[in-house]
Every structure is written in structure tokens, then in C-alpha cells.
Structure 1
Amino acid sequence: MGDVAARPLRADAERSVRAVLEAAERVLAEDPGASMEQIAAAAGVARTTIHRRFANRQSLIEALALSAARQLAQAVDDGRPDTAPPLVAMHRITANVLQVKGAWAFALGLPADPDSEAAVLQQDIDRRCVAVLRRAQAENVIDAAADLEWVRRVYYALIGESLRGGAEGPGPDGSDGGGPDAGGPGGGGSDPDALAARIIDTLLHGAGPRA
């Protein structure tokens, strides 16, 4: 009986933590030096609530970074990198990652301690990315002589530039790719699928002439 009664409290606690982390992302993106009290106000929770959940400001920032890293890892996993056809997996992962990175840009930009769970998650994401590229290479989608670590770095750079903006002009399907002012997840255009298609097209074909 007591266990059943406790469930709503746990759910409320999870919601309040989520609200605090979302508020921390918004507030710290605008002012990295913002206080715990400012974050609590933005989250609509009492100061005592935020201090009860997080021992200090550093623990809040670490929780923010870990939460964002977990969501990024889930975004990659949802793209079925090990089982979906390589091009399908690359497209799904890219669209998913654009949305997570757009929503949690500050948190994902925080330096991670090499021994932290966030750093381990990022290393696993890197490994899974190369594994998808290797599958694409085996299917002749990527040149057999290509350095896959370099391809991974270029791929990450394309995602980063897409989120930062400057992606003006039409996309590969002739539609407007849009920049950060075009709206949509992370300001990376109105449709993450269209932007993902543009990123993959650029990664695989570059800027050379098309047949």
C-alpha cells in the first residue's frame, strides 16, 4: 500500500528534476554564470527544491551534461545503427541527433571528465558511428579507401555547421534548406529529415558536379 502511495511522489520528483534541467539549459545558454536560484525561478520550483535535488551548482551542471548525453545516445540507438540498412540508419540518426543537439546545445558543449559516464557515452556514440560508416563502406556507399575516422569527423562537422547556421540556399531536393533562423529543431531548418538528407548528401557526394 505504501509503495503504491509513493509512486506519485517519485513521478513528481522526476518531473521537477526534468523541469530544472530544461530550465538550466535555457538559462545557462544565455548566462553561463547564472545561479541556482535563477534556474529554480525559471523552472518554477522553490529554491529548497533545487537544493534538495542537487547538492551544489556543479552537481546540477554534471546532471545536465549526463542527461543530455543519455538523450544523444538514445537518439543514436533509435536510428538502429546495427540493424537498419546503412543509409537508412545514417538518415535516422542524423535527424534524431539534430533535434537533441538543437535542444541541448549548452549541455552537450560542456567539457566532460574523461572518467565520467557522459564521456563514456560519447565514446560509444563515436564507435557506433564508425560502425555504421563501415557497413556503408561494405556496401560501396563509401569509398573502400576512405579513412572512416576522418569521415566521422567530417560528418560531425556538418552537423555542427548545420546547427550553427549558414546553411542557405536550396537543399538536395531543391527545397530551401534554411539556416538557424528558419525555425525547427535547433534552428537547423523547418524539417530535421530534410536537413539530415542534405547532410548525408554532402557527406557522400561533396560539392562536385552531379550527373
Structure 2
Amino acid sequence: MRADAARNLEAVLTTGARLLADDPSASIAAIAAAAGMDRRTVYRHFASREDLLAAIYQARLDAIERASEAARLLEAPVAVALHRYAEGIIEVNRTWPVELGRMRADETIRERRGRLIEQVDVFLQRATDEGLLRADLPAGWASALLQQLLHLATAQLPSLDAGQAADVLVKTYLRGVGRA
């Protein structure tokens, strides 16, 4: 794919993610216009609105997977991995604000999400085993809290860059569910 075509495709996908986060019924014409192109250009890449939606969700998952890999959840020291993960996911949430919930019926997306959740759960168990997180919390609580803090940091800290927002998140998380 030519560089300009790749940029156009990226613009359509990220613009689509942003518009769909604000208005889940956004049309291809609206997405194309906001991306600065004609809807026929978008239709050359995607036969239907559903194909465009699937591509946006796939791109978001790709970005989440890259952020998880970059965090080195199983290899890096827990606090370092947590910060890298938080910074990466906050950046993903800002670039790809559309939620995956609408695509839960898609088995491929559901499986990929499941693997990502499992990776984070294994990491959080490692953090607990190493004594960084409390072991007396209800099952799933640390994971649910981390997900909520990621959403809050993304939405409530827009003036901070992803690294600074991750600093706030990690301090809050470790002091809230860290060993007392």
C-alpha cells in the first residue's frame, strides 16, 4: 500500500473511532467528511459500514495488543510493567476511543479480548504473589479497578500526557489496592 493510501486509511479509522465514540450511528459519509475525504474513497476500502466498524475494532485491538506487549507484563518489574501498560492503554484509549462492547458478538474479537484480559489477570496475580497488591480483595476486584482507573485517567486527565496520566493512575492504584 502506498504511503498516502496508508495515511488515508489510518485517518479514516481513527476519525471513525472518534466519531463513533460520540455517536454510534455515525455514517460513512460523516466519517469520510471528518477525515477530509470523499465517501467513495472510504467505500473503496470498505464495502459496508459494518466492514468499517470491524476494521476500527480490529485496529483498536491491534493497538491494545502492542501496548500489552510493550509493557512486558510477565518480564519487567511489576511497577514498571504496570506503568508501561497504563501509559500504553491510555494512549490507545485516546487514539481509539470507541468501545469494543458493540462487537462482543464477533467471535474473533471476543477471543482476542479474552486473551488480553487473561494476560492482565496473570500479571495482577504475579503482582499479588510478589506482595505488591493485597491478597485479601474479592476475586476480580483488582482487575475491575484497574480497568475503571484506565477509563478515568483517559477521560478525566486530558491535560496530562499519557505518561503523566499513568503516573497518577499507578500511584492511585498501588496505594488503593497495594499492601497496607
Does the TM-score normalized on the shorter chain lie above 0.5?
Answer: yes
Instruction: Report the count of equivalent residues.
Output: 179
Query: 1:117-132, aligned counterparts within 5 Å?
Result: 117-132=108-123
Deviations 1:95-123 (A, max 9, x none): 111111122112x3542234433222221
Larger radius of gyration: 1
CA 1:110–1:13 in 2, change beyond 3 Å: closer, same or farther? Answer: farther
TM-score normalised by the chain length of structure 2: 0.86
TM-score normalised by the chain length of structure 1: 0.74
Structure 2 spans left out of the alignment, 5+ residues: none
Identity across matched positions, percent: 30
More helix per residue: 2
Partner of 2:143: 152
Query: 1:9-24, aligned counterparts within 5 Å?
Result: 9-24=1-16
CA 1:119–1:87 in 2, change beyond 3 Å: closer, same or farther? Answer: same
The 3-state SS of whatever aligns with 1:122 is helix
Q: Which residue of the other structure, out of 71, 81, 84, is the alignment partner of 1:92?
A: 84
Relative contact order, CA 8 A, sep 6+: which one is greater? Answer: 2
Deviations 1:121-155 (A, max 9, x none): 22122111111112212221112344452211111
Instruction: Note the aligned Cα RMSD (angstroms).
Output: 2.4
Q: Is 2:176 the counterpart of 1:203?
A: no
Q: Which residue identity lines up with residue 191 of structure 1 in the other structure?
A: D
Contact map agreement 2:18 2:97 (CA 8 A) in 1: no
Contact map agreement 1:95 1:196 (CA 8 A) in 2: yes
Partner of 2:132: 141
Q: Which residue identity lines up with residue 79 of structure 1 in the other structure?
A: A
